[in-house]
Structure formats: C-alpha cells, structure tokens
Amino acid sequence: SAAEAVLRRKRVRIDYHSRSDDEKLQRTVSPQRMVHYRDNWYLDGWCHKRRALRTFAVERIGSILVLDQDAVEMDDGRLDRHFASAYGIFAGAPEHTAVLKFSPERARWVAEEQWHPEQRGEHLLDGSWQLEVPYKHAEELVMDILRYGPDVEVLGPPELRRTVGGRLRASAAAYD
C-alpha cells in the first residue's frame, strides 16, 4: 500500500488513472508522505518519470507494487514549499492572488474561515468581507467560490473573474 511504502521509505510502481485528462499512467514514485485533505487521501511523492514532485489521489491508484529500491528523500521544508504554498491540493508556488468580496450577510461566516495560511482579509465599510488568497491553479478555488453563489464577487484577477462568471452563466442557462 501507499502508506506502507511511505513508512518503509521504498519506491513504488503505480498504475494511476488521472482525473484531469482521463489518462492511465504507470509511474515509479518515491513516496514522501500521505495527506488527508477534504475527506480524501493523497500520496505526495517524487515522480521519477517527470523528475518532479507530484500528488496522487490514492483512490485513483489502480495497483501499487513496493520496489526493493530506497525512495529519494526530500526534506519537509522543500515539501511544504512545493505542496502547501498555494491554495488547495494543487501544488506549486502561488502565481496569483484572488481578491474576493463577500456580502455583509455572508461576511460573518467567511471572516472566521481559513482558506489558506497566507490569506489576508478585512471588513469593508459596507459590512462586506474582502479576502485575498494566493493560488497557482484555479480549479479548486473556482469550485469553492461557486458555492457562495450571489454572496461573493471575484474582484480579481480578471481571468479568475471571467472563469467564475462564465461558470455562473452556464449554470443559469441550464435552468432557462
């Protein structure tokens, strides 16, 4: 299992079915740690084919073979810089900052939530809450924004605003 490989510090060969592009892959991975995030388990590891750190959803691993080779070791600081610096489970250093404005009604709740350790927020004069969140990939952030419907407005960056607006228009069109 993935947990066994992490504990034994051994490389694994996995058959992986990627959600993002529906591709079936075989990878040799040096497991670094297991992460529990939003009710799902993930394996963070060094992918030897891509020569980079990657995250693999455990439920998408079809088979796993523990190899008789020691895993490449990464220190916790490097792992945290790669995996924990941007919003959500998608890794990498943040390249953008989302600026979100929540309605006064929703502000009471959102002001107490932690979306990211490096977030910044402030109450505005009209009672709304402005939240700034660093991110690299928008997919998960867009899903979280959409759950607030009309109680949030994306102020920036423009590409995030267009993406959320397009998703909301497509949702409304399904009801016309």
132: helix, coil or strand? strand
Beta strands in the chain (DSSP E): 10-17, 24-37, 40-47, 52-57, 61-70, 96-102, 120-123, 129-135, 152-156
Nearest to 99 by CA among 41, 33, 12, 157: 157
pLDDT of residue 55: 86
pLDDT of residue 47: 93
Q: For 81-97, how does the pLDDT look when each residue is reduced to its tens digit (9 = 90+)?
A: 777 655 555 566 788 99
- 24-37 and 40-47 as β-strands: parallel, antiparallel, unpaired? antiparallel
- 96-102 and 120-123 as β-strands: parallel, antiparallel, unpaired? unpaired
pLDDT at 65 over 70: yes
Query: What is the value of pTM for the model shown?
Result: 0.59
